[in-house]
Amino acid sequence: MRDCVKSENDRGRGYLYQLELGAVRRDIRRTAPMITIRRITRRTLSAAMSEKTITLKTAEGTLFQVKPSIAKKLKTIQSFIDDSNVDSANKPIPLPNVFSRELSRILDYLNNHHRFRGSAIGQPNEEATRYDEEFVKSMTHEELKALVLAANYLNVNDLLEFLNITVANLIQNKSVEFVRKFFGIESDFTPEEEEKIRSENKWAFLGVDQD
């Protein structure tokens, strides 16, 4: 009798086991597509985020679409990009002190140097050096000064350092008149006072390059 009861109990436990195993299999079949959908959705969202651009609006109202990797080089607008309450992809970020000509040149510089860094990691890049030389060669003094102001406002460190070095080399060993004209500085001295200073400090005016 006991053996019969035990056999019935074993069959009952086996039946319950089969039911539980079937339920687990059904749950797996239902859950697997959801897991796959979640993975696909995450990949899709990640790809969409990587393709999203930042919209910049210049002083005259021109809109520029910029990749986040490049926009982050403009330290002044970093807070706009990092602010989760601002939809940077759709809401233009205003740049009231920057005009289209300067912003276009700044973005060209950043895009090209981003490419140069990717192609020559850990070694001097001759292409980047040639690009820098051509970049400033075609500019007038007024355009160069305007670009310095724009780079300073946007806090583009690498470009600003390069432009400052360019300006320093440009005015090196130049006359007082050249430097005044370049920066738009008016003399505080009368002609008599300036003549006296020149006569007392003749050494400072020797070997000056022709303007």
What pLDDT does residue 22 have? 56
Q: What is the mean pLDDT of residues 105-123?
A: 81
Type of residue numbered 149? L
5-57: per-residue pLDDT in tens? 344 445 554 544 454 545 545 554 555 444 443 443 444 444 444 558 899 99
DSSP line for the chain: -HHHHHHHHHHHHHHHHHHHHHHHHHHHHHHHHHHHHHHHHHHHHHHHHHH--EEEE-TT--EEEE-HHHHTT-GGGHHHHH-TTS-TTTSPEE-TT--HHHHHHHHHHHHHHHHHHHHSTTS--HHHHHHHHHHHHT--HHHHHHHHHHHHHHT-HHHHHHHHHHHHHHHTT--HHHHHHHHTPPP-S-HHHHHHHHHHTGGGGTTPPP-
Q: What local confidence, expressed as pLDDT, does residue 163 receive?
A: 96
Specify the pTM: 0.68
The pLDDT of residue 112 is 93
Q: At what angle do helices 157-171 and 100-119 cross, to 10 degrees?
A: 110
- Supply the mean pLDDT for the chain: 78
pLDDT surpassing 90 at residue 103:
yes
Q: What is the pLDDT of residues 58-69, one digit of tens each?
A: 999 999 999 988
In this prediction, residues 93-114 reach a mean pLDDT of 95
